[in-house]
Amino acid sequence: MDSEALRKYSALHPKPAGLTLQYGTAGFRSKAEQLDHIVFRMGLLAVLRSKAVTATIGIMVTASHNPEEDNGVKLVDPLGEMLHPSWEEYATQLANAEEQELQKVITEICQKAAVNLHKDASVFIGRDTRPSSKKLSQSVIDGIQVLGGQYHDYGLVTTPQLHYMVCCQNTQGQYGKATLEGYYEKLSKAFMELIKQSHCSGESQRHLKIDCANGIGALKLSEMKPYFPQEVLIHIYNDGTKEKLNHLCGADFVKVHQKPPGGLDMKPNERCCSFDGDADRIVYYYKDTAGHFHLIDGDKIATLISIFLKELLAKVKQNFKMAVVQTAYANGNSTRYLQETLKVPVHCVKTGVKHLHHKAQEFDVGVYFEANGHGTVLFSKAAETKIRQLVKEENDNEKREAAKMLENTIDLINQTVGDAVSDMLVIEAILALKGLTVQQWDALYADLPNRLLKVQVADRRVIDTTDAERRALTPPGLQEKIDALVKKYKLSRAFVRPSGTEDVVRIYAEADTQENADALAHEVSLAVFHLAGGKGAPPQP
């Protein structure tokens, strides 16, 4: 390690006094002007991680659905998954080290993680369309070069595209070609093969309006357009040429406010969807003839995909284990429908993509989606191998056709991470194959009315939870109070959990009517305020 170069470059990316940030599920996120030293140091960390695992590591500069003035950075592990939890700790240590301790902290990480500094290192870099992203990715490069790493800068890409590139690179091309063209070709080919198998003569041309959150999704969808067949007519809105990123648009806005984005005119019964700022989440929606807005969130997307996969798995007659993984935020009626009507096992885990992804890996076919629209499907190595073998060798027509559909689905889904473009194509293919309209999809089950609230507290750590965040262990008396409140309403449940990023407690409640869901959420928020050290004025109904 060249101490002189490290000292010189570190001085060019100084850490503001008194600033401490934590590496969370989404990496680091903050106001863009506070991140220069952080991204430089994540360049250093990516080199160390690459040397430790002898593989290419990814670095993505993005703050996803946050406002345009924010930014962030996250690392991508060798198979396109999130950074290993033990390294999240190293990331936090390195980010918060004072300038003069930097070399010492790097040496400590090398000792703890058995990093051989003489090994080669390779890092892939991507960034979103924020005004601050280009300069920040330059600082990443400074960090990589100080420790003698090699890098490839992909420039403007969606977050899932970078995850995909890293996985392709480290599987020596088995997962695909580590180029944008490779990504577009693989997805479009699988999509065309799938819809070729659709026998319904429904809408021969399928129109879809897409709100791209004024972000990177618009650029990449436009690049991909020439790869699509004529039957797919996608209309891009909020393409970033006029308005600010994520401002009154995007998947997060639509989900939170339960209303259509600005910049997109909806006619009755038109299929519309929204990506988020870095295109790793998607939600669908439509307006009915009476003008009512209907949101189709991650739970309903998971349900549609599960119906499709379950039918195909039944046809190939293999003993594959399939399950759906949700969090406590999943609508109670989606869980009921999956378990009781579809007879698919459902598992609940803590909030955060890494927990869902980890659990989904336990099954031959693991479907996971957060209600916010982030999700994908994972296929075990054994299941994938068997399916590809059936396509080649199965004599029974029906079995072989079903195996072929599964194979195309495997190639169409981005198994590394939730991917709005890939998920959209999967959904569009399923709707075409099953001849379903957006209204029929929506009608699978009715969502229970629900309400999300948050309460500011002096210290979020006073709340400790168990049972995948569905029960509160501390402060004493809080869970008993919630249980008593829930008993007052029909089909109701409620839970509280500390935010991962700020001193607030998040509250979720659902019940048989919106009025009851709102009342329950309010009563629970008062309980939190009084028992968990609320700040400011008590919550108002």
Residue 371, annotated as binding a ligand: yes
Question: What 3-state DSSP class applies to 209?
Answer: strand
What 3-state DSSP class applies to 153?
strand
Does 380 participate in catalysis according to the annotation? no
Sheet of 322-327, strand order: 346-349, 322-327, 365-369, 375-379
CB 368 within 8 A of CB 375: yes
Degrees (nearest 5) of the Cα angle 21, 26, 31? 50
Q: Does 64 appear as a known binding residue?
A: yes
d(CA 274, CA 295): 11
Pairing state between β 206-211 and 272-275: parallel
Q: Is 252 annotated as a binding residue?
A: no
Tell me if 498 is assigned to a ligand binding site: yes
What DSSP element (H or E) covers 525? helix 514-531
Distance from the Cα of residue 299 to its chain's centroid = 13
DSSP 101: G
Contact 296, 269 (CB under 8 A): no
Ligand-binding annotation for 281, yes or no, is no
From the list 50, 64, 132, 137, the catalytic residue is 64
Separation between Cα atoms, residue 284 and residue 274, nearest integer Å:
6
Q: For residues 169 and 173, what is the distance between their CA atoms, to the nearest angstrom?
A: 6
Handedness of CA 236, 240, 241, 244 (dihedral sign): positive
Confirm whether residue 214 is marked as ligand binding.
Answer: no
Does 243 count as an annotated binding residue?
no
Cα 435 to the center of its chain, rounded Å:
28
501 marked among binding-site residues = yes
Radius of gyration of the chain (CA): 24
**Separation of CA 204 from chain center:** 31
Q: Is 155 helix (H, G, I), strand (E, B) or coil?
A: strand
The three-class DSSP label of residue 113 is coil
Query: Binding site annotation covers 276?
Result: yes
Distance CA 532, CA 494 (A): 16
Q: Residue 464: what are its φ and ψ, rounded to 5°?
A: -125, 140
Closest C-alpha among 291, 305, 354, 366 to residue 334: 305
Quick one: angle between helices 3-12 and 36-53, nearest 10?
150
- Tell me the C-alpha distance between 5 and 11, whole Å: 10
327 closest CA partner among 470, 520, 447: 470
Which amino acid is residue 510, in one-letter code? Answer: E
- 497 labelled as ligand-binding? yes
Q: Binding residue per annotation — 280?
A: yes
Query: Which residue numbers belong to the known binding site for Mg(2+)?
Result: 64, 276, 278, 280
Any idea which residues carry the catalytic annotation? 64
Query: Which residue numbers belong to the known binding site?
Result: 64, 276, 278, 280, 370-372, 497-501, 506
Query: Which residue numbers belong to the known binding site for substrate?
Result: 370-372, 497-501, 506
